Amino acid sequence: PKTLRFILGDQLNSNYSWFKEVNPNVTYLMMEVMQEQDYVMHHIQKILGFFAAMRNFAHQLSKKGHRVIYLKLDDADNKQFIDQNIHFQLNQHQIEKFEYQLPDEYRLDEQLKELCKGLSIPFEVADTEHFLTTRYEVKDFFGDQKKYLMENFYRHMRVRLDILMDGGKPAGNRWNFDTENRKKYDNKVPLPEVLVFDQDLSTLKEMADKMGVKYFGRVNEKEFAWPLSRAKALKALDNFCENLLPHFGTYEDAMLQEHISLFHSRLSFALNTKMIAPAEVIGAVITHWQQNKATITIEQVEGYIRQVIGWREFMRGVYWAKMPGFAQMNFFNAKRKLPQWFWTGETNMNCLKKCIGQSLDFAWAHHIQRLMVIGNFALIAGLNPDEVDEWYLGVYIDAIQWVEITNTRGMSQFADGGIIASKPYAGSAAYINKMSDYCKSCHYDHKKRHGEKACPYNSLYWDFFHRNTDKLKYNPRIGMMYKLLDKFTKAELEATLLQADEYLNRLDSL
């Protein structure tokens, strides 16, 4: 039958089985639509990055001989909604069968299911062939347990995929090398170069402006830090194995003012758009390690594999187990508005200025910057998780809801009440000072809890625990904090809470 196959912007997998042979009866449909620009305000690099990668992908498909309809945002017959465009193209080309790949986003999954209900022709839905697990594998793995422990799932994945296993035991006799890893950057190895690509996105930007797309953040249109094709993604993967993997684990939690990414792979955009697959990333990492065991330790490799086969698959599974309810959870009933400086980076708190500034410059920050600087502040200041989610979903180039909301609302804001994290990721200035060089050039004093120039993280940290005593005191992993809080003198407690109050009343001017 004459078939229309729809490809979403995050389904750029050129190895997909659909494309194995050219079939003149099959037309592929891709589209840039306002619907996808409007549901939150996005960073300009996210918008341009998706459009450019989609256009490259469509171009490659056509070059191989496939029939492709590509709707540009400013095309005259673009209806700007996915369902309306599909209906229009089905009629226009007298299509007899409609096919699509399972979306990873709940919203789009519902939209396409709804669309298919109204079709008078047959339709078929196929898996994306991208992930290492199925949608509901995590849900089935944990059954009716209230809390999902990533570590258990990760070990199961190691065994199931036979990765870093040694005769039924974990290689190196341990599942976890976190104690060796996670060091502050100590100048012992030189900082790597940040890989950027020469890619001119100015025409795309002009189109976005002409169409009135709303965005925030900054862009260097001529030099783009994100791979926009599979070929470039593979280059980035090579660069990771060669130059970054040897120190990935050691410095995975470190933060530095003058370097945006240290030894992180920055492969998340290529992975989440499916230009490259998790299986090939871990394959490349393991092969490179096996050939270079003299220079790459198992600690580095395990640290990385954990992120890809553990956290990434786990978060996707939690998403499908818990949506749509997950998007409404607000365990602490946090209601404060996001301070203005989330959109400008203009705050006197140097860590936030640097991490938000970098997010606005590159549409990316690494895990600890997202978790322990920005997310941590939002958590202890009691910012509304709806607004926090919206910001994270808009700002990061790799932000697609399945991996954004689970990390943000779940892991970082504990708004899920502890499905994902066993305790809130709250930290005071001591943690930020230990893992970064931000505090030494900050307006605030990281050692002070209250008084002139006291670091806001300190009073907000204690205020957070004090404010949420009834919700947290009986958590066995947090009880210790309350013992410490009990030891505060009355005067110290009062001064700390007063300081927090003062800061909370003027978040915009911190």
Question: Closer CB to ligand FAD, residue 302 or residue 404?
Answer: 404
Question: Closer CB to ligand FAD, residue 27 or residue 268?
Answer: 268
- Which two three-digit tokens encode residue 235? 């280059």
- Write each residue from 403 to 432 as x if it is in contact with ligand SF4 (CB under 6 A), else as -, in one continuous string: --------------------------x--x
Q: Which does 455 bind (CB under 5 to 8 A by kind): ligand SF4, ligand FAD, none?
A: ligand SF4
469 close to 503: Cβ distance less than 8 angstroms: no
412 forms part of the interface with ligand FAD (CB under 6 A): yes
- Which two three-digit tokens encode residue 85? 């465009």
Cβ-proximal residues to 441 (8 Å cutoff; 6+ apart), any chain: 257, 350
444 forms part of the interface with ligand SF4 (CB under 6 A): yes
Q: How far apart are CA 507 and CA 340, in angstroms?
A: 9
Q: Which does 409 bind (CB under 5 to 8 A by kind): ligand SF4, ligand FAD, none?
A: none
439 forms part of the interface with ligand SF4 (CB under 6 A): yes
Q: How far is CA 27 from the centre of its chain?
A: 32
**Which of 390, 56, 32 has its CA nearest to residue 210?**
32
Cβ-proximal residues to 211 (8 Å cutoff; 6+ apart), any chain: 34, 73, 74
- Write each residue from 43 to 82 as x if it is in contact with ligand SF4 (CB under 6 A), else as -, in one continuous string: ----------------------------------------
Q: How far apart are CA 357 and CA 509, in angstroms?
A: 16
Member of 27, 85, 273, 350 binding ligand SF4 (CB under 6 A): 350
Q: Which does 396 bind (CB under 5 to 8 A by kind): ligand SF4, ligand FAD, none?
A: ligand FAD
Q: Which does 429 bind (CB under 5 to 8 A by kind): ligand SF4, ligand FAD, none?
A: ligand SF4
Q: Which does 411 bind (CB under 5 to 8 A by kind): ligand SF4, ligand FAD, none?
A: ligand FAD
Q: How many residues interact with ligand SF4 (rule CB under 6 A)? A: 13
367 forms part of the interface with ligand FAD (CB under 6 A): yes
Q: How far apart are CA 66 and CA 81, in angstroms?
A: 24
Q: If you write DSSP's letter for every residue of 234-262 in order, what string do you get?
A: HHHHHHIIIIIGGGTTTTTT--BTTBS-T
| Part in contact with ligand FAD (CB under 6 A); list of ranges 94-102, 201-209, 408-416, 468-476 | 408-416
**Which of 87, 100, 92 has its CA nearest to residue 28?**
100
Question: Closer CB to ligand FAD, residue 408 or residue 428?
Answer: 408
442 forms part of the interface with ligand SF4 (CB under 6 A): yes
Q: How many residues interact with ligand FAD (rule CB under 6 A)? A: 27
Closest contact distance (angstroms) between CB of 344 and ligand SF4 is 16
315 forms part of the interface with ligand FAD (CB under 6 A): yes
Q: How far apart are CA 98 and CA 123, in angstroms?
A: 5
**Which of 506, 386, 502 has its CA nearest to residue 451?**
502
222 close to 202: Cβ distance less than 8 angstroms: yes
Q: Is 8 helix (H, G, I), strand (E, B) or coil?
A: coil
**Which of 369, 424, 420 has its CA nearest to residue 396?**
369
98 forms part of the interface with ligand SF4 (CB under 6 A): no
Question: Closer CB to ligand SF4, residue 395 or residue 455?
Answer: 455
Name the residues that contact ligand SF4, by CB under 6 A.
Answer: 349-351, 429, 432-433, 438-439, 442, 444, 446, 455, 457
